[in-house]
């Protein structure tokens, strides 16, 4: 019985992951409406919700639907651990700018330009210094979704970021919610 539930959960996880990767592919091809349709078919995404929010935000942004994009991108920027959330912050800043929210754009872009990890941060692991994280998380305009570009089999061992007291990734930057 437990094996059947485990197999069903694994199959569902793989289905969701394939749809997320398909949506990312549509965005890379400049097809945001198709990416949105792919994402609309998803139900509960569990651990992948931040990635789904980021992709929805990008799809909305590319269709000049900035208000819708802001909500999704802000969720992604707050939920994805720093420094991997830099692409979400950059896109959020662009959307704020397009909506005339210049001060919020400036703050979001500031978060996009920094790793979110203090220079003197050290958890005792010499491989996890701030400069190493910054180098690993360097993003480009085209490929700001680096943290999720993995094969389906590799994703099975992925673990979510540690959670802080409000249930979000512990090393995230936050802005107040955008007031429409």
- Percentage with pLDDT > 90 across the chain: 49
Report pLDDT for 82.
87
Q: To which residue do tokens 């920094």 refer? A: 114
For residue 24, pLDDT beyond 60: yes
For the chain, the C-alpha Rg in angstroms (whole number) is 17
Question: CA nearest 12: which of 4, 23, 1?
Answer: 4
- Position 123 scores a pLDDT of 63
Q: Between residues 179 and 52, which one has the greater pLDDT? A: 52
Q: How confident is the model at residue 12 (pLDDT cuts 50, 70, 90)?
A: confident
Determine the Cα–Cα distance for residues 134 and 51; give it in Å rounded to an integer: 20
pLDDT class of 170 with cuts at 50, 70, 90: very low
Q: Which two tokens stand for residue 16?
A: 């969701």
pLDDT at site 13:
86
81-111 tens-digit pLDDT: 988 999 999 999 999 999 999 999 999 999 9
Q: Is the pLDDT of residue 121 over 90?
A: no
> Over 70: is that where the pLDDT of 154 sits?
no
CA distance 91 to 76: 10
pLDDT of residue 109: 93
Residue 43 binned pLDDT confidence (cut-offs 50, 70, 90): confident
Per-residue confidence at 33, pLDDT binned at 50, 70, 90? very high
Distance CA 18, CA 10 (A): 12
What string of H, E and C letters represents the secondary structure of 130-151?
Answer: HHHHHHHCCCCCCCCCHHHCCC
Does the pLDDT of residue 52 top 70, yes or no?
yes
**What is the homologous superfamily of the domain 2-155 according to CATH?**
Tetratricopeptide repeat domain (1.25.40.10)
pLDDT for res 144:
42
**Is the pLDDT assigned to residue 147 strictly greater than 80?**
no
């Amino acid at each position: 019985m437990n094996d059947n539930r485990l197999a069903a959960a694994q199959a569902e996880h793989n289905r969701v992951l394939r749809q997320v990767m398909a949506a990312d592919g549509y965005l890379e091809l400049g097809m945001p409406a198709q990416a949105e349709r792919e994402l609309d078919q998803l139900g509960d995404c569990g651990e992948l919700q931040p990635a789904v929010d980021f992709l929805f935000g990008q799809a909305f942004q590319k269709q000049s639907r900035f208000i819708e994009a802001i909500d999704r991108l802000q969720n992604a920027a707050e939920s994805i651990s720093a420094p991997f959330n830099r692409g979400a912050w950059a896109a959020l800043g662009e959307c704020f700018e397009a909506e005339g929210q210049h001060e919020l754009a400036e703050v979001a872009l500031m978060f996009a330009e920094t790793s979110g990890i203090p220079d003197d941060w050290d958890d005792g692991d010499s491989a996890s210094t701030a400069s190493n994280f910054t180098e690993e998380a360097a993003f480009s305009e085209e490929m700001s979704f680096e943290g999720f570009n993995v094969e389906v089999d590799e994703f099975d061992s992925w673990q979510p970021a540690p959670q802080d007291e409000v249930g979000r990734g512990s090393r995230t930057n936050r802005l107040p919610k955008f007031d429409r």
